[in-house]
Amino acid sequence: MAVRIRLTRVGATKQPSYRVVVTDGRSARDGRSIETLGHYNPRTEPVDFQVDADKAKAWLAKGAQPSDTVLRLFRAAGIVPAAK
């Protein structure tokens, strides 16, 4: 099973907010998730990104692959070292 860390959309129409979830890579974007790690709201200034860093590091150590957007957010939060 390919485990991914990615965003799932929540919120009203034209007011998106996202949850950072661990899910099977084959499931739908808003499908069943294994665990919720935090949330991300790009509509606030500054953007609101809160995640449980210990859980995220544990899933990364187990081999979970973050999506491109989640990887960018993790780097900004200091969970993953910056790219060289």
Q: What b/e sequence results for 36-74 when a residue is b if at least 16 CB atoms lie within 10 Å of its CB, and e otherwise?
A: ebbbbeeeeeeeebebeeebbeebbeeebebeeebbebb
Q: What is the pLDDT averaged over residues 6-14?
A: 94
- List, for residues 33-59, the tens digit of each pLDDT value: 999 999 999 999 999 999 999 999 999
Q: What is the pLDDT averaged over residues 25-38?
A: 90
The answer to whether the predicted template modeling score (pTM) of the entire model surpasses 0.95 is no
How does residue 25 score in pLDDT terms, banded at 50, 70 and 90? confident
Distance CA 27, CA 15 (A): 24
pLDDT given for residue 73 in this prediction = 94
Is the pLDDT assigned to residue 13 strictly greater than 90?
A: yes
- Domains of the chain are 3-77 (3.30.1320.10)
